[in-house]
């Protein structure tokens, strides 16, 4: 059964998780609201990510370059590669994300949603949650 998790301008509908795939994959549909910027640049220690565009266009920043993902387009982000994404448009953007192997699950997103919904999320606490779940935040280099 799908689980829906909302946080800020982002909604995730988990279709499969590590729990029901024996750790093979996590799969979720993600809706990103207009002008939303999520999450902080980061990389994954233990899994790769594939993204398939369904509606609208998301701009992923992958290894320092912008990559637009629209309907029918896909993007592969290997573990260890710094990335983030944003929706620069005036319409919601929807994609399907698959993480392999399935080691993240919805628990990370539940914890982050609780922090964001608290009103004034503590950046140190958010970083701790990310690290505990295998996401490593990366401070962007200053633009010269």
**Sorting pLDDT into bands at 50, 70 and 90, what band is 140?**
low
Assign 129 a pLDDT band (cuts: 50, 70, 90).
Answer: very high
pLDDT at 118: 82
CATH code for position 7: 2.60.120.10
Residue 143 counted as domain residue:
no
- 3 forms bridges with which residues in the sheet? 14
The arithmetic mean of pLDDT across residues 108-120, rounded, is 89
Strand order in the sheet with 26-32: 3-7, 10-16, 26-32, 93-100, 48-55, 74-77
Percent of the chain having pLDDT more than 90? Answer: 81
**136-142: average pLDDT:** 78
- What are 4-33's pLDDT values in tens digits? 999 888 999 999 999 999 999 999 999 999
Res 138 pLDDT > 70: yes
For the chain, the domain total comes to 1
Where in the sequence is the domain holding 30, given as residue range(s)?
A: 3-137
Cis link prior to 35 (omega < 30° from 0)? Answer: no
Q: Residue 141: which region, alpha, beta or left (left: phi > 0; alpha: psi -120 to 50)?
A: beta
């Amino acid at each position: 059964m799908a689980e829906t998790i909302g946080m800020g301008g982002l909604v995730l509908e988990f279709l499969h998780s590590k729990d029901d795939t024996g750790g093979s994959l996590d799969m979720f549909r993600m809706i990103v609201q207009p002008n939303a910027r999520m999450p902080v640049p980061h990389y994954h220690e233990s899994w790769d990510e594939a993204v398939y565009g369904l509606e609208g266009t998301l701009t992923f920043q992958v290894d320092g370059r912008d990559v637009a993902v629209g309907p029918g387009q896909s993007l592969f982000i290997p573990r260890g590669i710094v990335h983030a994404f944003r929706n620069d448009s005036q319409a919601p953007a929807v994609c399907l994300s698959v993480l392999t192997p399935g080691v993240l699950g919805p628990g990370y997103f539940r914890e982050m949603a609780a922090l964001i919904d608290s009103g004034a999320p503590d950046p140190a606490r958010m970083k701790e949650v990310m690290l505990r779940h295998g996401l490593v935040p990366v401070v962007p280099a200053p633009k010269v």
